[in-house]
Amino acid sequence: MLYTQLAGNAPANAIMPLELNTKGIFNLDVDADIWIDAGSDDFKQFPNNQPPGWLVDPNVQKQICDAQEYINSQQELECCNAECYNLQTWITEQDAAVQHAKQLCCGGMPNSENDYT
């Protein structure tokens, strides 16, 4: 494209795309140069020829990331609470089983010499 433009064979309003760094091009990073659209006519598709804030405003983009992180944190908290409940239920059942086994072992006498509590 550069040679075409230098030779004068490109349209006058042609926009030269950015040169891409081929190292890491397949990492699919959303901030990589490959996703940059250099055309300025693309804004005609938006109302009032203005792109939405989520597309161009770094503050809006950060707020979206923060909101998603908050949502993810709430979901993780719910999972942790469920896991805590499950562990408490499990340890209660295990304790009841140990107590039952001790009673069977001691012949139903919880205060005997064989009681290790």
Torsion of CA 61, 67, 71, 77, to 10 degrees: 120
Instruction: Tokens 């999972």: give the residue.
Output: 79
Q: What is the pLDDT of residues 69-107, one digit of tens each?
A: 999 999 999 999 999 999 999 999 999 999 999 999 887
Q: In angstroms, rounded to a whole number, what is the distance separating the alpha carbons of residues 106 and 94?
A: 18
CB 113, CB 102: distance < 8 Å: no
CB 25, CB 32: distance < 8 Å: yes
Query: Global pTM?
Result: 0.48
Q: How confident is the model at residue 42 (pLDDT cuts 50, 70, 90)?
A: low
DSSP symbol at 61: H
